[in-house]
Amino acid sequence: MISVICRLSNLNRKSAFGDDRGRGGFGLSPRIVIGLLIMAGTLLYYQFGTTSYHNEFTGRDQKLALPTPEDEIAMGLESAPQMIHQSGGLSRDSAGRAMVERVGARLIASTAARETAYQFKFHLLADTQTVNAFALPGGQIFITEALFRRLKSEDQLAGVLGHEMGHVVGRHSNEQMANSQKWSGLAQGFSVMTSDGHNNSGAYLANWVAQWRLMSFSRSDESESDALGVRFMLQAGYNPEALIGVMEILAQVSGGGGRSDFMSSHPNPDNRMEHIRQVIAQERAALGGR
């Protein structure tokens, strides 16, 4: 494709595509052709260069950048030491670390997550300032001391860890990589088409739209992981209402739950609490009211 683009950019003014002033042929400038080629190539790669996968945990069809769970595991294991280092290492609280590992093991043993290829491991990080929990592809799951110390029960801890397990089995990081490649490529193509060397408003608009789309995918992932977390909690015998308490903690830390979702990677805590209540009712009904 690079050689094609280079030849197109060097077309003379009498070519079938015309020049930048729109003279001759169809009046289609090489800049527009190049942009269209970038966008078409991006969409073709997204369709045929990614892996199509039906996720039994979420019921959704996905496009994935990494084809196998083993690829995700390798990425997560490679990234884990750096994430631990950036968070000040593992917590020195041996009892806290043991609790995180024990609750994580109970969640795995009680749910279909145990039947996957993922290598789940649960870490308590020494960071006492950042209220956070996150998962790497493949099963490496982390919670900071700053969040761990704010939790009021083992059930709340199970809610946090179950949510992060949801990201892993939902293959969210993998799917986000494929989506990021697609929207970045489309934005690049549109920027080339609309840029004239003086006005970059088209590039700004394209990048803004791409960022907005990726944020909306991220919010959907969070809601999906909340739902999976509720399911895992119920299956492991934990009280799923405890996850609502976690959202209340996050709302306090963030200064309130009433902010807009627009251009945010996470739904606001108030919206998440309402969604969690609905999921709890649905999951309990599916389990016969248990």
Question: Cα separation of 161 and 141, whole Å?
Answer: 7
* pLDDT at residue 179 in the model: 87
* pLDDT at residue 224 in the model: 93
Range(s) of the domain holding residue 258:
53-174+217-286
Tokens of 219: 């919010």
* pLDDT at residue 253 in the model: 87
pTM above 0.85, yes or no: no
pLDDT exceeds cutoff 70 at 231: yes
* pLDDT at residue 184 in the model: 85
Residue 31 pLDDT class (50, 70, 90 cuts):
confident
106 vs 267, higher pLDDT: 106
pLDDT exceeds cutoff 90 at 92: yes
pLDDT exceeds cutoff 60 at 119: yes
C-alpha dihedral over 217, 251, 247, 147, to 10 degrees? 100
4 vs 241, higher pLDDT: 241
C-alpha dihedral over 69, 71, 74, 80, to 10 degrees? -70
pLDDT exceeds cutoff 50 at 21: no
Does residue 272 fall inside a structural domain? yes
Find which of 28-37, 64-73, 217-226 is predicted with most confidence, using mean pLDDT.
64-73
Lowest pLDDT segment from 180-184, 227-231, 252-256: 252-256
Residue 215 pLDDT class (50, 70, 90 cuts):
low
How many domains are contained in the chain?
1
Does residue 40 fall inside a structural domain? no
| Farthest CA pair distance, the chain | 77
Lowest pLDDT segment from 42-56, 158-172, 173-187, 239-253: 173-187
* pLDDT at residue 24 in the model: 44
pLDDT exceeds cutoff 50 at 208: yes
Residue 212 pLDDT class (50, 70, 90 cuts):
low
* pLDDT at residue 91 in the model: 97
Does residue 86 fall inside a structural domain? yes
Does residue 117 fall inside a structural domain? yes
Does residue 12 fall inside a structural domain? no
Nearest Cα neighbor of 112 from 157, 62, 169, 73 is 169
Q: What are phi and psi of 152, to 5 degrees?
A: -105, -5
Radius of gyration of the chain (CA): 23
Residue 144, C-beta contacts closer than 8 angstroms, at least 6 positions apart: 87, 124, 125, 127, 128, 130, 131, 132, 133
Does residue 197 fall inside a structural domain? no
What DSSP letter does each residue of the chain carry, written as one string? -HHHHHHHHT--TTSTT--TT--STT---HHHHHHHHHHHHHHHHHHHTSEEEE-TTT--EEEESS-SHHHHHHHHHHHHHHHHHHTTSB-S-HHHHHHHHHHHHHHHHHSGGGGSS---EEEEE--SS---EEE-TTSEEEEEHHHHTT--SHHHHHHHHHHHHHHHHTTHHHHHHHHHHHHHHHHHHHHHHH--SS--HHHHHHHHHHHHHHHHHHHHHHHHHHHHHHHHHHHHT--TTHHHHHHHHHHHHHT-S----TT-SS--HHHHHHHHHHHHHHHHHHTT--
Does residue 14 fall inside a structural domain? no
Does residue 8 fall inside a structural domain? no
